[in-house]
Amino acid sequence: MIPIEVYLIFAAVLFAIGAYGVAVKSNTIVVLMCIELMLNAANINFIVFSAFTTDVLGQVFVIMSISVAAAEVAVGIAILLNAYKIKNTIEADSLTSMRW
Amino acid sequence: MFIEYTWLVPLVPVLCFVAIGFLGKKMPEGGGPLAVFGALFACVLSVLISYEFFTSSAYADPGYVTAQITWFSIGSFDINIGYYIDSLSCLVMMFASFISTLIFVYSIGYMHGEGAKKRRYYAQVSLFLTGMLGLAISSNFLEMFVFWEAMGLCSYLLIGFWGFDHPKGDDATDVAASAAKKAFLVTRLGDVCLMGGMFVLLYEFGSLDYAAVFDASAMAAVDPSMIMLGSLLIFGGVIGKSAQFPLLDWLPDAMAGPTTVSALIHAATMVKAGVFLVARCFPLFTQNPEVMLFVGVIGGITAFFAATMALNNMNIKKVLAYSTLSQLGYMFLALGAGGYMMALGMQTHDHHLMAIGAIGYTAGCLHMVNHAFFKALLFLGSGSVIHSTGTEDMREMGGLHGKMKITSITMLIGSLSIAGFPFFSGFWSKELVLETVMHAGDYGAEGYLFTIMWILAIVTAFMTAFYMFRMWFMTFKGKPGHGTEHCHGESPKSMTVPLIILAPFAAALGAILLFGFDEYVTIGINHVGEFQLGSGHGHGLEGWLEDIFMSIYTYLTIALVLAAIGIAYFMYSKMSVDPGKLNKNGSSMIYRALSNRWWFPQLYDQIGWKLGNGVARGVEFVDTQVVDGTVNALSSAVAGSGDSIGKMQTGNMRDYAAVVMFGIVSLFAVMLVLFYFMGGA
């Protein structure tokens, strides 16, 4: 049986990749995808702990989380579409008008 | 029956003020007759109220009638508004309204040529009278203060009556305007003291009602040093209002107003308010002999200094102004000396001493009434002279007796009365004043001060007789001047009739009051240990005559007065003695000191410039540097830090994400370290 540490390290690496992408990527579609990566890293942790403790509550949580993530992506894509209509670009560096 | 309607006494003149103010242009003589009606109404009602009060049972016990409603409440302090009638209010009410009536009648003639400005004049004098009458009937200190301030305002307005367009040109306009400002500001200085005194009383007594404050048990329960502080502060207000030393300089300047206004201020209202207040606060002031000593000494110094300044003044109105100051000084001297003995008598339970002290009160009040009549007469007479000669300079008058017989003779009566010529009004009250002050010198550790004041007062009596007759001889006798040639005969009837009415009062009222009504003008401790005005035991005719004529000093004063009149006669009527020789034709030191008013105006200016300017500079420094500096530093610190911190908001999403992640990572690091060291799970 694969030990739990492997799963956890995998999830941590996935999260780190997502975080790195959010921090450095300028394409907002990629940023959104990276956010999904981080979310799924958390989901993996839920499932792993659920499986190793034989408690189904974790898996229920993941179902919930996936449906919320779907809604969130829909909203995110909608915002990006509108931003593209106005600015003609979705580069994160050019979307800086919401400041002082 | 009439006492319940006391509130009408000030109300009717104030209604006249409103009516004349709005509708005066359409009334004949700018509303003058309405003003006369208001004053006359107040006068008649005052007499009826006084008659009812003196015949009522309240007069014998407790000596006053009061009724009031709550004006407003602050916390547990109730401030009332109402009336308080006792023999003092009756006295002041009657003489103020009576003299004002005559002055208003006189004004119709005197102000006839003023055109549209008459409306303003009559409205303001009506308000002025309201102030005095309201002051007299007030039932508490705050109500009194409101009317006190109303008078201050009216004095400002009326002294500056010609301030905008003086008949004698721009210079005179400036003079009138600055005299009005001076009067207002100087009296204001006193008013601040008076307010302070009221705060002390309110704090100590929890009430400003006369009935509550003058209650013997209430006064006994209060710390005497606080009563002393309150009394002295109240007297500070009196010093400003009654133009006592050292705030005496505004009154001579106030002569810039119309002569009728001077008469009103000097005889019926304004400066008498101060005397009234001291007499009203007599129970309070007598709690400490030191307070009364202070009152007396201020009065004595004022009496002396003001009289010296009148000696060489060439302006007929200014001579009268100085004489007012001097006579007011007499009143305060009498009240102070009487109160001093009364206070000592109360401390030692010496009833004889208290009885002598009460004479001081009687003397002060009687002198107030007598002075009101002869000073009104003198001012109205001088107004008549100025009206017909067109000048106020006595050197340009002279020999007017032949042209203005009525004015001349009535003014002679007034001069005899103020000079204290035997058997005229002023004689009786002045003798009583001098006698009280002389007695006060025999008691207490500081009594010797009153002996000094007594000597000053006797010298003052001599000077008074001299300058009054100098004025009369220079005006009506001697060589005719330019003004005399310009004179077109006697003034109109509306001016001479008030003079003729006032003359017998000025001549005989003192004797009538003293011999017939002295028991109404007394103060004493009644059977329940409270102060009570009136219903004392009159000395009666024989008592007073014995008092006055058994004293050798009375004959000394009479001799001095006669000598002074004689000197004035030889100097200014017969011209056999040249006054120029005495003062080296106006170059001697003392002559210049007197004509410069002992450099009082310069002293004020110096204090104003050096002290006021210094204080103002200091305050300005604090304001611009400390206060503004603090505020500016705070605001620029906030703005600057906001500016620099605001740079962190780049608007770049990835920066925010990085910051958030950095925060989370640091948080975890801190928690790990904590767990490691604290040994947590």
3-state helix, strand, coil in chain B (%, to 5): 80, 5, 20
State the smallest CA–CA distance between residue A58 and chain B in angstroms.
23
- Highest averaged pLDDT of the listed ranges A33-37, B383-387, B493-497: A33-37
- Bridge-based pairing of strands B531-533 and B523-525 is antiparallel
Answer whether residue B540 shows pLDDT above 80: no
Instruction: Please answer yes or no on whether A23 and B649 come within 8 Å at the CB atom.
Output: no
Q: Please indicate if any CB of chain B lies within 8 Å of the CB of A93.
A: yes
Q: Worst-scoring range by mean pLDDT, B112-126, B288-302, B536-550, B580-594?
A: B580-594
Q: Cβ atoms within 10 A of the Cβ of B611, count?
A: 10
Task: Report the alpha-carbon distance of residue B521 to residue B86 in Å, rounded.
Answer: 10
Answer whether residue B322 shows pLDDT above 70: yes
How confident is the prediction for chain B on average, in pLDDT? 84
Are the C-beta atoms of B108 and B36 separated by less than 8 Å? Answer: yes
Chain B residue numbers touching A23 (CB-CB < 8 A): 654, 657-658, 661
Instruction: Report the Cα B633 to chain-centroid distance in Å.
Output: 49
Choice between A49 and B606, residue whose per-residue pLDDT is larger: A49
Are the C-beta atoms of B63 and B534 separated by less than 8 Å? Answer: yes
pLDDT for the residue A78: 93
pLDDT, tens digit, 9 for 90 and up, residues B280-300: 888 888 888 888 888 999 999
| Segment B518-523 mean pLDDT | 78
Q: Which of B646, B652, B661 shows the shortest C-beta gap to A93? A: B652
What residues pair up with B66 in beta bridges, in sequence order? B84
ipTM entry = 0.80
Q: Which residue has the tokens 């000396």?
A: B337
Q: Worst-scoring range by mean pLDDT, A40-44, B431-435, B528-532, B560-564?
A: B528-532
Residue B290, burial from CB neighbour count under 10 angstroms (0-12, 13-18, 19+): middle
Task: Report the alpha-carbon distance of residue B335 to residue B297 in Å, rounded.
Answer: 11
Instruction: Please answer yes or no on whether B653 and A23 come within 8 Å at the CB atom.
Output: no
Are the C-beta atoms of B331 and B276 separated by less than 8 Å? Answer: no
Chain A stretch 10-39, residues whose beta carbon is closer than 8 A to a beta carbon of chain B: 19, 22-26, 28, 31
Are the C-beta atoms of B279 and B226 separated by less than 8 Å? Answer: no
Residue A35: closest C-alpha in chain B = B657
Q: Please say whether the dihedral angle defined by the alpha carbons of residues B489, B495, B500 and B506, taken in this order, is positive or negative.
A: negative
Task: Report the alpha-carbon distance of residue B559 to residue B421 in Å, rounded.
Answer: 10
pLDDT, tens digit, 9 for 90 and up, residues B420-437: 888 888 888 888 888 888
pLDDT for the residue B393: 80
Tokens at A15, concatenated:
């999260």
How many degrees, rounded to 5, is the angle at CA B544 between CA B541 and CA B545? 80
Task: Report the alpha-carbon distance of residue A37 to residue A21 in Å, rounded.
Answer: 9
pLDDT for the residue B259: 86
Q: How many CA atoms lie within 13 A of B234 on its CB side?
A: 31
Tokens at B119, concatenated:
């409306």
Answer whether residue B244 shows pLDDT above 60: yes
Choice between B43 and B311, residue whose per-residue pLDDT is larger: B43
Instruction: Please answer yes or no on whether B653 and A31 come within 8 Å at the CB atom.
Output: yes
- Bridge-based pairing of strands B77-85 and B523-525 is unpaired
Tokens at B356, concatenated:
């002598």
Q: Please say whether the dihedral angle defined by the alpha carbons of residues B380, B384, B390 and B391, taken in this order, is positive or negative.
A: negative
Residue A15: closest C-alpha in chain B = B661
pLDDT for the residue A9: 94
Confidence band of B170 (pLDDT split at 50, 70, 90): low
Q: Which residue has the tokens 């009060």?
A: B53
Tokens at B122, concatenated:
């009559």
Tell me if the bond preceding B62 is cis, omega within 30° of 0: yes
The span from the first CA to the last CA of chain A, in angstroms, equals 55
pLDDT for the residue B233: 92
State the virtual CA torsion across B549, B552, B556, B557 in degrees, nearest 10.
-40
Tokens at B280, concatenated:
């009203």
Task: Report the alpha-carbon distance of residue B88 to residue B41 in Å, rounded.
Answer: 20
pLDDT for the residue B535: 66
In percent, the amount of chain B with pLDDT more than 70 equals 94
Instruction: Report the Cα A87 to chain-centroid distance in Å.
Output: 25
Give me the helices (H) in A1-100, please: 4-24, 28-53, 57-87
Chain B stretch 608-667, residues whose beta carbon is closer than 8 A to a beta carbon of chain A: 646, 649-654, 657-658, 661
Measured CA distances, B520 to A13, B61, B276, B365, B538 (Å): 112, 13, 15, 11, 8
Instruction: Report the Cα B224 to chain-centroid distance in Å.
Output: 26
Task: Report the alpha-carbon distance of residue B384 to residue B109 in Å, rounded.
Answer: 10
Tokens at A54, concatenated:
């034989």
Are the C-beta atoms of B160 and B117 separated by less than 8 Å? Answer: no
Q: Which of A23, A31, A98 shows the shortest C-beta gap to B651? A: A98
Answer whether residue A75 shows pLDDT above 90: yes
Answer whether residue A100 shows pLDDT above 60: no
Answer whether residue B306 shows pLDDT above 80: yes
Confidence band of A65 (pLDDT split at 50, 70, 90): very high
State the smallest CA–CA distance between residue B635 and chain A in angstroms.
19
Residue type present at position B105: V
Task: Report the alpha-carbon distance of residue A14 to residue B211 in Å, rounded.
Answer: 93
Residue type present at position B357: G
Instruction: Please answer yes or no on whether B661 and A31 come within 8 Å at the CB atom.
Output: no
Instruction: Report the Cα B678 to chain-centroid distance in Å.
Output: 84
Tokens at B236, concatenated:
């500070």
Q: Which residue has the tokens 């009051």?
A: B513
Answer whether residue B640 shows pLDDT above 90: yes
Choice between B398 and B461, residue whose per-residue pLDDT is larger: B461
Answer whether residue B659 shows pLDDT above 80: yes
pLDDT for the residue A61: 92
Tokens at B159, concatenated:
């002294």
Can you give the length of chain A in residues?
100
Chain A residue numbers touching B653 (CB-CB < 8 A): 28, 31, 92, 95
Q: Which residue has the tokens 């009439």?
A: B2
Q: What Rg value do the Cα atoms of chain A yield, rounded? A: 17
Tokens at B463, concatenated:
């000077």
Task: Report the alpha-carbon distance of residue B400 to residue B388 in Å, rounded.
Answer: 10
Burial A5-34 (b: 16+ CB within 10 A, else e): eebeeebeebbeebbebbbebeebeebbeb
Tokens at B46, concatenated:
């005052």
Give me the helices (H) in B477-606, please: 482-486, 493-516, 540-549, 552-568, 579-582, 589-595, 600-606
pLDDT, tens digit, 9 for 90 and up, residues B329-369: 999 999 998 888 888 888 888 888 888 888 888 888 889 99
pLDDT for the residue B663: 93
pLDDT, tens digit, 9 for 90 and up, residues B667-677: 999 999 988 88
pLDDT for the residue B583: 65
Q: Which residue has the tokens 């400390």?
A: B626
For B443, the 3-state DSSP assignment is coil
Residue type present at position B47: V
Instruction: Please answer yes or no on whether A96 and B654 come within 8 Å at the CB atom.
Output: no
Helix axis angle for B316-348 and B425-440, nearest 10°, is 40
Task: Report the alpha-carbon distance of residue B656 to residue B666 in Å, rounded.
Answer: 15
| Segment B104-123 mean pLDDT | 84
Q: Which residue has the tokens 């035991």?
A: B537
Q: Which helix (H) or strand (E) holds B186?
A: helix B170-205
Task: Report the alpha-carbon distance of residue B201 to residue B213 in Å, rounded.
Answer: 8
| Segment B525-548 mean pLDDT | 72
What residues pair up with B65 in beta bridges, in sequence order? B85
Measured CA distances, B562 to A31, B418, B464, B465 (Å): 118, 13, 11, 8
Task: Report the alpha-carbon distance of residue B232 to residue B211 in Å, rounded.
Answer: 20
Instruction: Report the Cα B238 to chain-centroid distance in Å.
Output: 6
What residues pair up with B85 in beta bridges, in sequence order? B65
Q: Cβ atoms within 10 A of the Cβ of A44, count?
A: 17
Q: Which of A23, A31, A99 shows the shortest C-beta gap to B650? A: A99
pLDDT for the residue B270: 85
Instruction: Please answer yes or no on whether A22 and B651 come within 8 Å at the CB atom.
Output: no
Burial B352-361 (b: 16+ CB within 10 A, else e): ebbbbbbbbb
Q: Which helix (H) or strand (E) holds B80?
A: strand B77-85
- Residue from B419, B422, B423 nearest B465 by CA: B419
Q: Cβ atoms within 10 A of the Cβ of B600, count?
A: 17
